[in-house]
A and B are shown apart, each in its own frame.
Chain A
């Protein structure tokens, strides 16, 4: 048996005990799963997107299961930043894991308000900017336009000293271009991907399966799209990339790291198995030990792309 592999990674100034985070929107405010899952087994947790005021969310139904995945259209239902600071932070301060708080809003001023309130709040390690929720109308989608994405990030960069992680949507032509613009604007890291826009129809009633008609697709079905996005982003920027999309196992996490991710987030898998995050971290460590990998950091971006002369010749 080899020595325990070193799982620690750094997201800018933020040091994580392992590269597995709980994804925003799939882990509430920590206390729900904290009732029966040890949150110290995570590298960190990312809480549900906060807006300045409590937000009611979209009409139900808000979820539908699809092949190897699920659609959701929650519409950012959340308690609002003040209730979060008052009611959720006292518990979260007691949790022995990195705390990343996800920030959202409609107009830029709302992101600014939430960021200002959280910057004064003790116990928060980083902010993740939800620039890419597909389920809210009104120009929420900052990450489809490189100029607007950069404006939002630089505005927030000027008002907070906390590490800023920009969470990007895959629903663009070139996610690499958006990634470059948010890096230049001062983002410390990039999370990718948010959900893919999707739709399902009940053919019996001919109605959409979601009350909001379309929603965001997550789960194993989107993993190859996410790996491609991480690979593209990592080739374009030098800040760390946090890979998200259909991660269910340690092997999945290795795939993301090799493609260029420094850390990963586990989301939909947690609904299936509440200990999915700790399980991914544990099986990642087992894989490293079995493969002679002493530190997960050596995996990051270790992808081997064959040169054209090595590639097999395809004939049609």
Chain B
């Protein structure tokens, strides 16, 4: 369990703007959370309005009921501001997109396990799919800021359905990080999967990658696990889950993990005849909110 304090804020919205089709960037003023956040941390927020409710009872609103988790994408410790990227995917994010500058959102954080930092002399590749880019913006920013590793040692492979969803690309360039793009529709960059770029990169310049990070849709991360396993490269993945509590109590947001000594390629949850609630020694579930969201590359069964 991390020793970083968990803070709860009615954080003021400084900006909340559309940066692509159904894609948004929100900046929140929350100095304590901003000060303690590290790359890979997430916050758990209530999308509904709390600004007009001085009694702090806005969480009594019943729909949408639960908080929503978002990876921190950017941090400005001097101003006490952090940024998030989100895409409208349901009721919570739909409401979040209607919130205006000056209003407040209830934020809990920073939460979860963070990335291993980028180390000097260990070149890394980050594979990002869609809004899965968020924690890598943070990782690139912090690495560029603390100067412990050279930005040139970082390569970002960033894929999305279409060019308009590749928002954040320019920030990587600002940090001095090399970015290659891929789109499903070929509107920019490689016409195809971002994992094609990874295979190509490993084949042409294997020394550019001693460590691999991945965050995005499950099929993308599964392919990254395969590629990393074949190439013998270590790394980490950042996951999401349906996360009611966000702090490790409800046991809902679990991911299946490989039991020690088993083939990580097999699903430990798929033991023959295993009914719900039945005992199975080969099965192990870890909480994404508490043991994760960052896991070792081959630890999780996706």
Contacts and interface: CB of A to CB of B under 8 A. Distances in A.
B279 A53 contact: yes
Interface string B238-266: 00011111111111111110000000000
A25 B250 CA distance: 6
B277 A76 contact: yes
Nearest to B55: A283
Contact of B5 (A36, A76, A271): A36
B64 interface: yes
B276 A75 contact: yes
Given A53-B279, A59-B269, A60-B285, A271 B60 contact: no
A136 interface: yes
A32 B242 contact: no
A295 interface: no
A248 B63 CA distance: 13
Contacts of B242: 60-65
Contacts of A273: 59, 106
A20 interface: no
Contacts of B180: none
Interface in A49-107: 53, 55-65, 67-70, 72-77
A271 to B, nearest CB: 4
Given A57-B285, A64-B242, A268 B65 contact: yes
B36 to A, nearest CB: 12
A64 B91 CA distance: 13
Contact of B8 (A212, A219, A274): A274
Contacts of A33: 247, 249
A59 B268 CA distance: 10
Interface string A259-284: 00000000011111110100100000
Contacts of B1: 35
Given A74-B250, A271-B245, A69 B65 contact: yes
B62 A57 contact: no
A135 B260 CA distance: 27
B238 to A, nearest CB: 17
A220 interface: yes
A205 interface: no
Contacts of A67: 62-63
A70 B254 contact: no
B278 A60 contact: no
B interface, size bucket: 35 or more
Contacts of B247: 32-33, 35, 274
Interface residues of A, number: 52
A26 B65 contact: no
Interface in B1-42: 1, 5-8
B251 A77 contact: yes
A276 B56 CA distance: 11
B6 A68 contact: no
B65 A274 contact: no
Contacts of A58: 276-277
A236 interface: no
Contact of A28 (B57, B67, B249, B252): B249
B60 A28 contact: no
Contacts of A269: 59
Interface string A116-144: 00000000000000000001111010000
A120 B126 CA distance: 52
Given A57-B251, A72-B250, A220 B62 contact: yes
Contact of B248 (A28, A53, A212): A28
A306 B283 CA distance: 56
A295 B252 CA distance: 38
Contacts of A136: 276-277
B66 interface: yes
A272 B66 contact: yes
Contact of B66 (A56, A60, A70, A276): A70
B250 A26 contact: yes
Contacts of B294: none
B277 A137 contact: yes
A59 B256 CA distance: 8
A248 B59 CA distance: 9
A137 B275 contact: yes
B245 to A, nearest CB: 5
Contacts of B243: 63
In the A-B complex, the 4 residue pairs with the closest CB atoms = A28-B249, A63-B252, A136-B277, A68-B62
Interface of B: 1, 5-8, 46, 57, 59-60, 62-67, 106, 108, 241-256, 269, 275-280, 283-285, 290
30 contacts: A25-B251, A32-B248, A35-B247, A48-B249, A56-B280, A57-B254, A58-B276, A60-B253, A60-B254, A60-B256, A63-B250, A67-B63, A69-B65, A70-B244, A75-B276, A77-B251, A77-B285, A137-B276, A137-B277, A212-B277, A221-B62, A248-B60, A248-B62, A249-B57, A249-B60, A268-B65, A269-B59, A271-B67, A273-B59, A274-B108
Given A26-B250, A35-B247, 10 more contacts: A27-B249, A55-B277, A55-B279, A56-B283, A56-B284, A58-B277, A60-B253, A68-B65, A137-B277, A219-B62
